[in-house]
Amino acid sequence: MITLITGATSGIGEQLAIKYAQLGDTVIACGRNSDKLAELAKYDNIQACKFDATNLQDIKESTIGFPHFDRVILNAGNCEYIDDARNFDSALFERVINVNLLSMGYCLEALLPKINSGGQLVLVSSSVTYLALPRSEAYGASKAGVSYLAKSLAVDLNDVDVTLVHPGFVKTPLTNKNDFPMPMAVTAEKAADYMIKGIQKRRKDVHFPYRFTLILKVLRILPLPIWLKIAKGLAR
């Protein structure tokens, strides 16, 4: 199996690359960090592929030597928060949408035609899409877009299976910057285990940790005014 993974130089993506290589896949590890890519390339069946996921031409040129894939996991992303919604930061909003959502479109144009018939496309969203949360205007909107994109692709693609991933809190260098509690957070290694298990079963929706995501799914049944009161309390 040939598996391409974006965002492979840190966190979940790095763990996915290592674990898929250990399972015997030929892994194309993609990212922008040359040093981390060089470390991953020390594994016999990991090949480094450096590109900026927000640059369509860069993606196309960097992957031209890879004619086909069995599995593509679009995992690259970033997280920034809107600290003052009244004074909305449109530049921050643009950055997050560009990295988390528009990059998906660029990767799809460059890589989707190379996925073998019967192959698999995996898009990594977030459990933030289940509920409106404080300061998440940019991050939540970008991930909600990813979730809708994946579901729409699942309707239109007939020869490629689509798996949508909704992680809860995961301990990574990115989330280490968070200044708020992360209930039921799991390690990047555990998150990769959850994902691989669901991906191998070709589940349409992979979410974890299950107790946390189940709580969020129950809470989203609440009428919006009630949830808004709860969320405003969390924001204080």
Give CA–CA dist 80/95, Å, rounded: 9
For residue 76, what are the CA distances in angstroms to 7, 9, 138, 220, 223? Answer: 4, 9, 16, 27, 33
What are phi and psi for residue 124, nearest 5 degrees?
A: -100, 115
Select from 34, 37, 17 the least CA-distant residue to 26: 17
Angle at which helices 137-156 and 90-97 cross, to 10°: 30
130 catalytic? Reply is no
**Active-site entry in 20, 139, 148, 210:** 139
For residue 196, give both structure tokens.
């691989």
Catalytically active residues, by annotation = 139
